[in-house]
Amino acid sequence: MNEKGFVPSGLNFTSSPDGLLIVRLMGDWKIGNPLPLADEVEKKLAAGAQIKRVGFDTTELKAWDSGLLTFLIKVKEFCSQNKIPLEAEGLPEGAKGLLKLASAVAERKGARKEVKRESFFSMVGASAVEFYRSAIEMLNFIGEATITFTKFLFGKATFRRTDLFLLLQECGAQALPVVSLISILLGLILGFVGAIQLKIFGAQLFVADVVGVGMVRVMGAIMTGIIMSGRTGAAFAAQLGTMEVNEEIDALKTLGISPMEFLVLPRMIALVIMMPLLCVYADLLGILGGLIVGVGMLDLGFTEYMNRTREALTLTIFGVGLFHSAVFGVLVALSGCLRGMQCERSASAVGYAATSAVVTSIVSIIVATAIITFVCQVLGI
C-alpha cells in the first residue's frame, strides 16, 4: 500500500503465438492512484503486427473506478483504429457494462462545439453592428424615459407612492455613512495636496479656496455620483435584472402596466431628488475635511478659514455643483435601469447587468462633467 492506501496499479502483457495479446491489469485502478498510460498498449499494438486480438486478464485487479474505464475506452479506440477485435470477456462485469454504455450512443454529429476562428475584419464588423444596435437601444430607452417623465409631470404616470418613499430612503438616508466618510477624506486629501504646494508661496490661507471651490463646484458632485453608481446604480440593475429573470417584468407588461412608469420612473425621481441633497452634504463634509488640514497642519484659525471659504464661494459655483449632481442622478438612474431591463435570463446575466451599470454610469458621469465644464468655460460661468 502507498501513502494514500492504494495497492499500486500495474500493467503487463503476454502475447500467445496465435496472435492474442493479453493485457494483465493489477492492483487498484482508481483515480488518484498513479495509473499506467494507455499509450503502452498502443506501443505494443504498433510494435507487433502479428497481434490479431486483444484480451484482458483481471484476476489480480483489486478495486477500480472511472480510472480504469478511461483507460479501457482509449484501448478500445486504438483497437478499432487498427481494426483489431477487442475481447471484453476478461473484464469485471460492471466495467464491461459501463464500457458498453459509454459506446452505446455514438457521438452526435455536430454536437461537439467547434472552435470557429473568425477573421479580424468579421470580428470588427460584428462588434460595430453590435455597437450600433446597443446605441439604438439606449436612445430608445432614453426616449421612453423622457416620455414617461413628461407623463409624470402631467400626473398621468402609474407607480406606487410607497415604492418611491422606500427608494428615497434607500438612495438618500442610507447612503449618508459612505458619503460622509468619502467626502471628509476627499476634503483632507485636497487640503493636503493644496497645503504642500501653497506653503511654497506662503499662501497657506488659500487652501480654503482650493478645497471649497474644488469640492462645491465639481468634486462633491462627482464623488457622490460615483458612490451612488456603485451603490445604487448597481442595485437598480440587479433588482430589475432579477425581476426580468423571474418574469416579473413580463407580468407587468401583460397587465398593461408600463415597466418604465412602474419601475424606472420612481428610481429616476428618487435619484434626481436625492443626489443634489447628498451633494450639498458631501460639499459640507469636504470643507470640514479641508478645515481639519487648515487648522491642524497650517495653524490657520477656524474663523479665518471659514471666512476665506465664504469669500471664495459664490452662488454660481454652488449652482454649478448642484446642476452637476442633478445630471448625475439622471445618468446613474438611467444606466442602472437600462442595464437591468436589458438583462438576459440567467444568474450570470444579472451580475453582468450590475457591472455594466456601474461602468456605464461612471463613464457617462465623467463625460458629462467634461461637457458641462467646457460649456461653463465657453459661457464664462
Partner 1 sequence: MTEEPIITVNNLDMGYGSFVLMRDLNFIVNRGDVFIIMGGSGCGKSTLLKILVGLKEPLRGQILYGDVNFWETEPSERERFMKRFGILYQSGALWSSMTLAENIALPIQQYMKLNADQIGEIVALKLALVGLAGFEDYYPSEISGGMKKRAGLARAMALDPDILFFDEPSAGLDPVSARLLDDLILELRDSLGTTIVIVTHELASIFAIGNNSVFLDVDSNTMTAKGDPKKLLAESKDPKVRRFLTRGAEGGEVETS
**Which residues 251-280 are close enough to bind partner 1 by CB under 8 A?**
251-257
Count, residues near partner 1 per rule CB under 8 A: 19
What is the pairing mode between strands 20-29 and 10-15?
Answer: antiparallel
Our CB check for partner 1 shows the closer of 47 and 106 to be 106
Our CB check for partner 1 shows the closer of 103 and 197 to be 103
Contact call for residue 315 and partner 1 (CB under 8 A): no
CB 254 → partner 1: shortest distance, Å? 5
Binding string to partner 1 for residues 224 to 253, with x set by CB under 8 A, is what? Answer: ------------------xx--xxx-xxxx
Distance separating alpha carbons of residues 64 and 6, to the nearest angstrom: 11
Distance separating alpha carbons of residues 226 and 276, to the nearest angstrom: 13
CB 252 → partner 1: shortest distance, Å? 8
CB 253 → partner 1: shortest distance, Å? 6
CB 245 → partner 1: shortest distance, Å? 9
Query: Please, are residues 75 and 23 in contact by the beta-carbon 8 Å criterion?
Result: yes
CB 157 → partner 1: shortest distance, Å? 12
Query: Please, are residues 267 and 236 in contact by the beta-carbon 8 Å criterion?
Result: yes
Contact call for residue 126 and partner 1 (CB under 8 A): no
Helix axes 315-341, 234-245, angle to 10 degrees: 20
Which residue type occupies 348?
S
CB 77 → partner 1: shortest distance, Å? 19
Contact call for residue 144 and partner 1 (CB under 8 A): no
Question: What backbone phi and psi angles, to 5 degrees, belong to 59?
Answer: -65, -25
Query: Please, are residues 286 and 211 in contact by the beta-carbon 8 Å criterion?
Result: yes
Distance separating alpha carbons of residues 321 and 221, to the nearest angstrom: 6
**Which residues 163-202 are close enough to bind partner 1 by CB under 8 A?**
163
CB 256 → partner 1: shortest distance, Å? 5
Contact call for residue 158 and partner 1 (CB under 8 A): yes
Distance separating alpha carbons of residues 324 and 298, to the nearest angstrom: 31
- In the chain, helix, strand, coil percent, each to 5? 70, 10, 20
Our CB check for partner 1 shows the closer of 83 and 113 to be 113
Question: What is the Cα gyration radius of the chain?
Answer: 35
Contact call for residue 130 and partner 1 (CB under 8 A): no
Distance separating alpha carbons of residues 131 and 135, to the nearest angstrom: 6
Binding range to partner 1, per CB under 8 A, among 4-12, 103-111, 267-275, 295-303: 103-111
* 3 state DSSP class of 112: coil
Our CB check for partner 1 shows the closer of 106 and 379 to be 106
Which residue type occupies 118?
E
Contact call for residue 108 and partner 1 (CB under 8 A): yes
The residues that touch partner 1, with contacts defined as CB under 8 A, are 104-106, 108, 158, 163, 242-243, 246-248, 250-257
